[in-house]
Amino acid sequence: MKAVMVNGIERPLDLLNQSKGKDVLIQLKGDKQFVGTLLAFDMHINVALDNAKEIEGGEVKKNIGLTFLRGDTIIYISPASNK
């Protein structure tokens, strides 16, 4: 068997596609974190978030609401309620 499919994830972007409309945690370079609802992403991993909040040291530092994040600074994106 060549392809492995867990929850229908065959390519990494499938995971992001499944996370649309859900809350995600986004870790940026330089220890910034965002939580928010994933509205959209593109192949550069640019993302649009709704109700975005900047997190520092586990606490909400700033509400920035609707936000465009450049993919270039992103380390990982994780759906919030999957552990």
Binding site for its own copies (CB under 8 A): 2-4, 6-7, 9-17, 19-21, 25, 28-30, 32, 34, 37-42, 45-48, 50, 52, 63-79, 82-83
- Give Cα separations from 8 to 4, 39, 63, 75 (angstroms): 9, 20, 33, 23
Closest contact distance (angstroms) between CB of 55 and its own copies is 13
**For the purposes of burial, counting CB atoms within 10 Å of the CB of 26, is it exposed (0-12), middle (13-18) or buried (19 or more)?**
buried
Which lies closer to its own copies via its Cβ, residue 29 or residue 59?
29
Closest distance to its own copies from the beta carbon of 58 (Å): 10
